[in-house]
Amino acid sequence: MKDQHHLTTPRRFLLVGCSGFIGSHLLERLLKDVGLEVVGFDLEAGKIEHLLGHDNFTLHRKSIDEAVADGSMQEAVAWADVVVNLAAICNPYEYAIRPSAVIKSSLFDALPIVDLCCELNTWLIQFSTCEVYGRTVSSYVPEEGYSDPDLYVQSESRTPLVMGPVSKQRWCYASAKQTLERYVYALGFERQMPFTIIRPYNFFGPRMDFIPGRDGTGIPRVLACFITALLDDEPLLLVDGGTARRTITSIHDAIDAMMAMFDRPHAATGQIFNIGADGNELTISELAHRMREIYADVSCDPRKRNLPILNVTGEEFYGKGGYEDCDRRVIDSTNATSLLGWSAKIGIDEILRETISYYYEIYADKTAVATR
């Protein structure tokens, strides 16, 4: 049993879901530091193939259920100084077509990991989502608009979590994550389990999502939808007019925030952190226009500037599964700044240029541009 009063900067890391977008970037960063050891669990390894031979990394290719059943998860949690749980299905299309799987993976699959951390007194960093805030109060009092920041700026300790009705399956993920947060928080309160909860604000970067028809099927999140349209000379589609707003955060800033947590375990534990870039807020319509411009630059193909940007309804785009949207995500990041000394530094154009260049390098048919 570890003594929580002696929480020190971790040297041994357990990453559950280490081959997802965030996991792959965190793993890359941890393995750069001499002397840190990492154990990971994931069914996939596509995004971390370049790290597989590393001396300080051990990958278990199995599900959480399997790992708990064969005892390897218990062994890893007992060994680790910190457990980072990243496993989840975090894609709105999946919320519409298989909500029960989303709830299972985001809530029930996580419970054994939380319980093990509690029993063995291992620091748990649990990934949640800014989507737990749901819709802003402003969106329910339209006459006020966004004039009062208290009705829309999202603060960990003050802002209510506003989910739509159960028939709107959009909220299955946020509700599952909200319950998980409450369970983790309860164990921190009742059993002094060391924990940190992270609410990410739309992290963007290389390896973020699949590109339909190239390395996956279905509908990815907005960045990959727009990149697919740009690659294929198709229209960019704005769901419900593209008026929803998001705060876009570089994956590199996000990993810096995690490193700051590891450096300050006493400040980071017992806390919920919004992690996102103040100032990087824009509408989805603005995002489409900005991406079209940057893609044209990166590809040296000015025709991309003229690709149409069209409106579709949520039902046309996501089907009849009950789509509803978060209207706005404006971060209050005071907690991360004051406790971790962290704030995001990378602006939106730099994030988009890096990410678009990454996908362009991998997937664009460059011969077509060269011969045009």
Q: Which residues are catalytic?
A: 173
Smallest CA-to-CA distance from 67 within 41, 46, 95 is with 41
- CA 323 to CA 179: how far, in whole Å? 21
Nearest distance from residue 327's CB to ligand UGA, in Å? Answer: 9
Smallest CA-to-CA distance from 72 within 118, 41, 114, 37 is with 41
Cβ-based nearer residue to ligand UGA, 117 or 237: 237
- CA 278 to CA 24: how far, in whole Å? 24
Q: What is the binding site for ligand UGA (CB under 6 A)?
A: 90, 92, 129-131, 173, 200, 202-203, 221-222, 225, 237-239, 242, 244, 246, 284, 325-326
Backbone angles phi, psi at 233, to 5 degrees: 55, 45
Cβ-based nearer residue to ligand UGA, 243 or 338: 243
Q: To 5 degrees, how large is the angle CA 326–CA 99–CA 90?
A: 55
Nearest distance from residue 174's CB to ligand UGA, in Å? Answer: 7
Pairing type for strands 245-247 and 281-283 reads antiparallel
Cβ-based nearer residue to ligand UGA, 194 or 206: 206
Nearest distance from residue 371's CB to ligand UGA, in Å? Answer: 29
Nearest distance from residue 281's CB to ligand UGA, in Å? Answer: 12
Cβ-based nearer residue to ligand UGA, 37 or 131: 131
